[in-house]
Amino acid sequence: MVGRRAVNRTTPLALAPVRTRACRTDERWPARDAVRMFHPLDQKSVTTAGDARARLRRLQAERIDAAEAGLGHNALYMVALENDIAASRAVYVGLAVTEIATLRAQLGGPLVG
C-alpha cells in the first residue's frame, strides 16, 4: 500500500495507526488551522446557585465532622478541605449574583444609560 502503514491485525482497532482527515497532522493540515471542538454543556451539568449552596454546606459539615473525628490535626486533609470550601464559596457567590442579575433583567428589562 502506498502512503498507508499496514495495520497489525493483533492490535485492537482503537489502537490501530490509521491516518484519516480527522487525525492527520502533516503540512497540509497545520495545527494552527485546527478547529476547536465545542462541547455544549448538558442540562445535567449546569449548576444552579441552590446546588452550589448545598455543596458548600456539605463541605462545611464535612469540616465539622473531620474536626470531631480527630482529623483536625491532619494538616494536608484540612488544607485541601479549606481550599475546596473556598472554591465552592466562590462558585456559589458567582452563580447567585448571576442568577440575581438574570432575574432582574427579565423583570425590569436591560439597564440603559
66-108 tens-digit pLDDT? 999 999 999 999 999 999 999 999 999 999 999 999 998 889 8
pLDDT of residue 91: 95
**Residue 51 within any structural domain of the chain:** yes
**Residue 11 within any structural domain of the chain:** no
Let me know how long the chain is: 113
**Residue 73 within any structural domain of the chain:** yes
**Residue 24 within any structural domain of the chain:** no
Q: Can you tell me the mean pLDDT for 38-44? A: 52
Structural domain that includes position 68: 47-108
**Residue 59 within any structural domain of the chain:** yes
**Residue 3 within any structural domain of the chain:** no
Closest by CA to 78, choosing from 52, 101, 59, is 59
Provide the whole-model pTM. Answer: 0.57
Q: What is the CA radius of gyration of the chain?
A: 25
**Residue 90 within any structural domain of the chain:** yes
Is the pLDDT confidence value at 57 over 50? yes
**DSSP, residue by residue, 32-72:** GGPPPP--PPPGGGPPPHHHHHHHHHHHHHHHHHHHHTTGG
Number of domains in the chain: 1
Q: Which DSSP symbol is given to 29? A: S
**Residue 86 within any structural domain of the chain:** yes
pLDDT of residue 29: 47
Confidence of residue 40 (pLDDT cuts 50, 70, 90): low
| Percent with pLDDT over 90 in the chain | 50
Is the pLDDT confidence value at 51 over 80? yes
